[in-house]
Amino acid sequence: MAGKALLFTREDNVAIITLNRPEAFNTVSQELFEELSEHQRAIEQDRSIRAVIINANGDHFSAGIDLNMLRQVDSQHILENLTWLQNLYGRWQEWPIPVIAAIHGLCYGSAVELILGCDIRIAAEDTRLSIPEVRFALSPDMGGTTRLTKLVGSGQAKRLIMGCEEIGAAEAFAIGLVEIVVPREKLMERAMKLAKKMTSLPPVAINFAKKGINMAADGSVAAGLLFEQAQSTFCCGTEDQKEAIDAFLQKRKPEFKGR
């Protein structure tokens, strides 16, 4: 499946969404938003997809929002569209499957907000990240102030957003903005290795693990523990749980059915 702004491919049960406007530094446009929404709907309807990787063609992941598009935006447009746009970048968190961002080169502004909505961020060593909306008399509005703060803390978020500072992959790893750093030539290999490992594990357990971690990040300890009780009550005794134990004891590859 291919559009003008994005490519959609798959390797086994891993879907790959590729930003595909390298001649324009993969800048984020209305066209990208619309195609991304279409791909998300397609993934949601295909239960054979067990993980997603978001990457980019060309020398850079994305230089952020297309400034020509930004010049046409007014308060009425924001009022009518921003909730949909915020949901677009946050939709990954509603899914029972992992979403991995594989980043290289420049990753600016709206592109940083895109990867913040993913579950795991893998960066090539040449990655440069910046969230410079304040420079353009704006503040991040698609999860930037919220998700970045949860990942790196308020002090680092203020430095990056209010100071419009650019950081490299090593510093991004040190402050918790990305989880893995690899040489550029190993980027997709590492992302695919992690994605395939996750797809080999019991789907129900992956689903509950993701939900539990999200709840821990957003809620109280009491709420998180209550969720753990509920998910454990469900998981213990499922077909996949029994299969996982039997396969381990019998030294064979398990066959999970998602139930």
User: Domain 203-250 carries which CATH code?
Assistant: 1.10.12
Which residue out of 23, 133, 228, 255 is catalytically annotated? 133
Measured between alpha carbons, how far is 5 from 51 in angstroms, rounded to an integer? 21
pLDDT at 127: 98
Measured between alpha carbons, how far is 142 from 128 in angstroms, rounded to an integer? 20
pLDDT at 73: 76
Helical axes 203-218 vs 239-250, angle rounded to 10°: 110
Number of Cβ within 10 Å of residue 238's Cβ equals 17
pTM of the model: 0.91
Range of weakest confidence among 71-75, 144-148, 155-159, 164-168: 71-75
**171 part of the active site:** no
User: Does the pLDDT value for residue 1 go beyond 60?
Assistant: no
pLDDT at 245: 83
62-88 residue pLDDT tens:
999 988 777 777 788 778 888 989 999
**What percentage of the chain reaches a pLDDT higher than 70?**
99
- The single residue listed with the structure tokens 């990208």 is 32
CATH superfamily of 6-199: 2-enoyl-CoA Hydratase; Chain A, domain 1 (3.90.226.10)
Measured between alpha carbons, how far is 225 from 208 in angstroms, rounded to an integer? 13
178-194 residue pLDDT tens:
999 999 999 999 999 99
**What percentage of the chain reaches a pLDDT higher than 90?**
72
Measured between alpha carbons, how far is 4 from 53 in angstroms, rounded to an integer? 19
pLDDT at 2: 56
In the chain, ranges of CATH 3.90.226.10 domains: 6-199
Length of the chain: 259
**189 part of the active site:** no
* Helices and strands, counts by H and E, the chain: 11, 9
Instruction: Report the pLDDT averaged over residues 43-61.
Output: 97
In the chain, ranges of CATH 1.10.12 domains: 203-250
Which tokens sit at 192? 């695919």
Name the band, by pLDDT with cuts 50, 70 and 90, for residue 234: confident
pLDDT at 242: 81
- SS3 label, residue 7: strand
pLDDT at 224: 83
| Selected residue with higher pLDDT from 10 and 258 | 10
pLDDT at 11: 97
Instruction: Report the pLDDT averaged over residues 42-57.
Output: 97
91-117 residue pLDDT tens:
999 999 999 999 999 999 999 999 999
117-151 residue pLDDT tens:
999 999 999 999 999 999 988 899 899 999 999 99
Instruction: Report the pLDDT averaged over residues 29-55.
Output: 96
Which residue out of 113, 166, 179, 243 is catalytically annotated? 113
